[in-house]
Amino acid sequence: MRNFWEKSKNKGRPIYALAPMAGYTDSAFRRICKKFGADVVYSEMASATALVYDPAKTLEMLKFDPVERPYVVQLFGAKPEHFAAAARIITEKIGPDGIDINFGCPVKKVAKQGAGAILMDNMPLAREIVKSVIDSTDLPVSIKTRTRVNNTDILEFLDFVRDLDIAALMIHGRTLKQGFSGSIDTAIIKKARDHFDGVIIANGGVGVAGLVAPEDKRDNAGSHAAGLLARTGADGIGIARGALGRPWIFKAVRTGQDIARSPRAVFKVVLEHARLTEEHKGGRGIVEMRGQLCAYAAGLSGARDLRRRLVGVKTVKDIEEVFRGYEGLRVPDNRF
């Protein structure tokens, strides 16, 4: 098994990963985050069932550029046989550096399929799914979980699958009931080390406004990440929503300081992101990334008007026109 996770851990510094987000972590965004220092990047959540019965669209979504390595494809689903087939397809046709299994998604639409976080509460089935993937690929297999789902906490879950060759674990530090809000349970992530021998990545809230723990004192991504590492003893940090509109967060967590950004520098990143998106997805790509475009505007002067203009763009040229009319660019600023 080609285990890049151990190599990453043995470098002696924290691993900073772009965590999977449906609708956001496409190839263009992954490349931008790699540019700013992400060590590992994940695909959007991909359906194991779709890869079995109607693979073309999903395979297109999972394509990647070599600069994205190490690149991990995340699967969700509820049937071991679908996971096994999907793992074989991904290994042969995509060739990523690893395959991840989603046991952490709290979204009701996913739960209704018996998939995502709800699987933690069905440990025999979850175990069968993990084993089916391990037996179907020579790539390292990882899992993403919650701290608790109904009657099962992460420690019980890890004990149940402990004999399986799981290379890495990303723990979202909240319960299924919490969803994406509330405090992170750093204590249970720290305890996971006694129940799991592979790489542990702590996830949840890094860089998201208002979610910094009181112990971190300064409300910035660098101090939050450092605090999360210190309190959990994890091998690294998974960043998701905190990277939306600010992919330079990976540089911030490495330096331990927030990075001042000028409008000119932000727009430069936006245009690069947009061009990569258009290159990867064609005309529909810019429409699909409108949400991310608006996220980039956060914190800039006149953000409300800027967002209003950005929600109507359809091409890279449209974005350039919006920027040309932005007052903030008329003030010289060499930050970032």
Annotated binding residues: 20-22, 74, 144, 172, 203-205, 240-241
Are residues 86 and 11 part of one domain?
yes
Are residues 317 and 204 part of one domain?
no
Are residues 272 and 126 part of one domain?
no
SS3 state at 334:
coil
- The pLDDT assigned to 329 comes to 56
Active site residues: 105
Residue 336 lies in a domain: no
Annotated binding residues for FMN: 20-22, 74, 144, 172, 203-205, 240-241
Are residues 267 and 248 part of one domain?
no
Average pLDDT, the chain: 90
Are residues 243 and 117 part of one domain?
yes
Give the DSSP letter string of 87-119: HHHHHHHT--SEEEEEE----HHHHTTT-GGGG
Are residues 218 and 294 part of one domain?
no
Are residues 188 and 317 part of one domain?
no
Among candidates 99, 152, 108, 106, which has minimal Cα distance to 126? 152
Contact 288, 315 (CB under 8 A): no
- Of the three residues 199, 228, 255, the one that is the final residue of a domain is 255
CATH number of the structural domain spanning residue 124: 3.20.20.70
Note the pLDDT tens digit of each residue in 47-85. Answer: 999 999 999 999 999 999 999 999 999 999 999 999 999
Cα-to-chain-centroid distance, residue 203: 9
- Give the number of domains in the chain: 2
Are residues 313 and 192 part of one domain?
no
- The pLDDT assigned to 221 comes to 73
- The pLDDT assigned to 332 comes to 45
Confidence of residue 258 (pLDDT cuts 50, 70, 90): low
Confidence of residue 29 (pLDDT cuts 50, 70, 90): very high
- Of the three residues 255, 280, 312, the one that is the final residue of a domain is 255
CATH number of the structural domain spanning residue 269: 1.10.1200
Confidence of residue 10 (pLDDT cuts 50, 70, 90): confident
CA atoms of 92 and 100, how far apart (whole Å): 16
CA atoms of 241 and 248, how far apart (whole Å): 13
Q: Domain residues for 320? A: 263-330
pTM: 0.92
Are residues 103 and 11 part of one domain?
yes
Are residues 251 and 275 part of one domain?
no
Which has more confidence, 10 or 140? Answer: 140
CA atoms of 191 and 175, how far apart (whole Å): 16
Are residues 208 and 163 part of one domain?
yes
CA atoms of 272 and 227, how far apart (whole Å): 32
138-152, 169-183, 187-201, 249-263: segment of lowest average pLDDT: 249-263
Residue 89 has pLDDT above 80, yes or no: yes
CA atoms of 97 and 272, how far apart (whole Å): 25
CA atoms of 61 and 43, how far apart (whole Å): 8
Q: Which helix (H) or strand (E) holds 287?
A: helix 284-288
Residue 333 has pLDDT above 90, yes or no: no
Residue 45 lies in a domain: yes
Residue 335 lies in a domain: no
Among candidates 136, 59, 54, 61, which has minimal Cα distance to 99? 136
Note the pLDDT tens digit of each residue in 200-257. Answer: 999 988 876 543 444 433 346 777 888 899 999 999 999 999 999 999 999 989 886 6
Among candidates 166, 116, 104, 119, which has minimal Cα distance to 141? 166
- Of the three residues 191, 225, 255, the one that is the final residue of a domain is 255
CA atoms of 61 and 154, how far apart (whole Å): 30
Are residues 57 and 187 part of one domain?
yes
H-helix segments, 139-262? 154-160, 186-191, 221-232, 249-255
How is residue 164 written in tokens? 């399986």
